[in-house]
Amino acid sequence: MNFNPNLLDCAPAPIAEAWSWVNNPDTGKLIDMCQAVPAHLPPQSLRDYLGDAICKGEGASYTDIRGILPLREALADDIESRYRGNVNADDIIITAGCNQAFCSVIDTLCQPDDEVIIPLPSYFNHLMWLSIRGVKPRFLSFDAKTALPNPQQAAALISPRTRAIVLVTPNNPSGATYSPECIEAFYQLASAHNIALIIDETYRDFIDVNLPIHGLFEHREWRNHFVHLYSFSKVYSLTGHRTGAVVAGPALLEQIKKVQDCTAISAPHAGQLAALYGLQNLHDWKLEKARELQVRAEAIKTAFEHPDLNYRLICAGAYFAYIEHPFNTPSRSVVKQLIEKFDLVSLPGSYFGPKQEKFIRFAFANVHETHFNEVVRRLIGSQQEVF
């Protein structure tokens, strides 16, 4: 058989490759900071509700392509409350996770050789899908001082083939949260050039709810250019239920429905029920888990202040910390050595786009802050190695 050359050129799945370097995961010594997964199960009340619903036969059927109406209505209410904007159920399609949301939007907007502007470092699954589809990323350079993308640089990259700008905030992999002013500048740029601004906000529930995220939903014409991507996976610990969403204008959603019908048909029904239960019943639980993650982010910042540590913390927030390693060697080699010799699993910066060889990503959500001093101890030990 002959294979799609774009697929052959695409990098392998990063999580699987990193875990292939683990020699013995059962020693009890391993500290896993590789994949962004919650440290806890969904609350017992959600599990009880979903178990009863499934036993009754609920969740076994297809839903409307757009998803069940009560979930879309509840998510619209949640967005209106959080962003103080104008959103309704018709602005939403429920997808099989946020990755499918991104893939469907790209398939709707782009054809091969079109271009998408995307900041470095970039979420690896976004890069993989662009590669598979033959869509060319135009990268914004990484400012290690601010960890914020530059709208002026993006303006210089826009061409007749540009179809979208993609942002992820809070960011995977850097952990940075983009300011409302930064996001607004990108929205104005997208509007001026009649292209889409796609913002993946999977981790929006893990920042302080008293802080504004952005004001894009307050724009009367937001549906013309803004595309909001969301996931229920992390906020309610539903990673296996694959439930996400696209929030956008009717013209885009009408075309996405074609992609949805050919891929998932509809998002998993049981996952939609679980997400609806979460929106209706788990607000306080969500805030508690968000506070835990905020404490964890501050704890890892404190741990990296150790005077003997030559690894430098660039940024930390939501689920992630982005680290500059001290070696003159590719990040893949550094991570491989940290796994094989120090039982510390992370991901190399090279997975997150070009010019990221000096960095590694730690996903700290599933590691309690009491382990961070041990993480730092192992990193200090690794400084004596010859890479």
CATH number at residue 361: 3.90.1150.10
Residue 24 has pLDDT above 90, yes or no: no
Please report where in the chains the tokens 């470092």 appear, as a residue.
Answer: 121
**Residue pair 139/127 in contact by the 8 Å Cβ criterion:** no
Kindly state the average pLDDT of the residues 145-161.
Answer: 97
Chain centre to alpha carbon of residue 226: 17
Question: What would the pLDDT profile of 155-202 be if each residue is shown by its tens digit?
Answer: 999 999 999 999 999 999 999 999 999 999 999 999 999 999 999 999
Lookup: tokens for 54: 């499934």
Q: Are strands 136-140 and 115-119 parallel, antiparallel or unpaired?
A: parallel
pLDDT value at residue 26: 73
Give, in degrees to the nearest 5, the angle at Cα 228 between 222 and 234: 155
In this structure, are 195 and 312 located in the same domain?
no
Q: Output 106 or 23, whichever has higher pLDDT.
A: 106
Lowest mean pLDDT across 25-29, 210-214, 247-251: 25-29
In a domain, 265, yes or no: yes
In this structure, are 172 and 158 located in the same domain?
yes
Q: How many Cα atoms within 13 Å fall on the side-chain side of residue 310?
A: 11
Beta strands, E only, the chain: 31-32, 92-95, 115-119, 136-140, 162-168, 196-200, 226-231, 244-247, 312-317, 320-324, 344-345, 347-348, 359-363
Q: What is the dihedral of CA 211, 168, 156, 136, to 10 degrees?
A: -170
In a domain, 185, yes or no: yes
pLDDT value at residue 212: 83
In this structure, are 53 and 120 located in the same domain?
yes
In a domain, 14, yes or no: yes
Backbone φ and ψ of 353, nearest 5°: 115, 175
In a domain, 304, yes or no: yes
pLDDT value at residue 208: 84
Average per-residue pLDDT for the chain: 95
Residue 206 has pLDDT above 70, yes or no: yes
Chain centre to alpha carbon of residue 119: 13
In this structure, are 85 and 199 located in the same domain?
yes
In this structure, are 80 and 194 located in the same domain?
yes
Structural domain ending residue among the three candidates 282, 302, 317: 282
In this structure, are 207 and 261 located in the same domain?
yes
In a domain, 192, yes or no: yes
In this structure, are 51 and 154 located in the same domain?
yes
Q: How many domains does the chain have?
A: 2
pLDDT value at residue 228: 98
In a domain, 361, yes or no: yes
pLDDT value at residue 386: 62
Q: Which domain holds residue 174?
A: 44-282
Residue 387 has pLDDT above 90, yes or no: no
Lookup: tokens for 201: 């906000």
Kindly state the average pLDDT of the residues 131-137.
Answer: 97
What is the pTM for the complete model shown? Answer: 0.96
In a domain, 373, yes or no: yes
In this structure, are 247 and 357 located in the same domain?
no
In this structure, are 35 and 75 located in the same domain?
no
Question: What would the pLDDT profile of 213-256 be if each residue is shown by its tens digit?
Answer: 999 999 999 999 999 999 999 999 999 999 999 999 999 999 99
The SS3 assignment for 197 reads strand
Structural domain ending residue among the three candidates 237, 259, 282: 282
CATH of the domain at 89: 3.40.640.10
Round to whole Å and give the CA distance between 58 and 308: 56
Residue 53 has pLDDT above 90, yes or no: yes
Q: How far apart are the first and last CA of the chain?
A: 40
In this structure, are 32 and 124 located in the same domain?
no
Beta strands, E only, 221-332: 226-231, 244-247, 312-317, 320-324
Lookup: tokens for 236: 């309610």
In this structure, are 195 and 319 located in the same domain?
no
In this structure, are 264 and 308 located in the same domain?
no
Round to whole Å and give the CA distance between 221 and 224: 6
Backbone φ and ψ of 312, nearest 5°: -115, 125
Question: What would the pLDDT profile of 54-87 be if each residue is shown by its tens digit?
Answer: 999 999 999 999 999 999 999 999 999 999 999 9
In a domain, 387, yes or no: no
Structural domain ending residue among the three candidates 226, 255, 282: 282
CA distances from 125 to 25, 99, 224 (A): 25, 7, 26
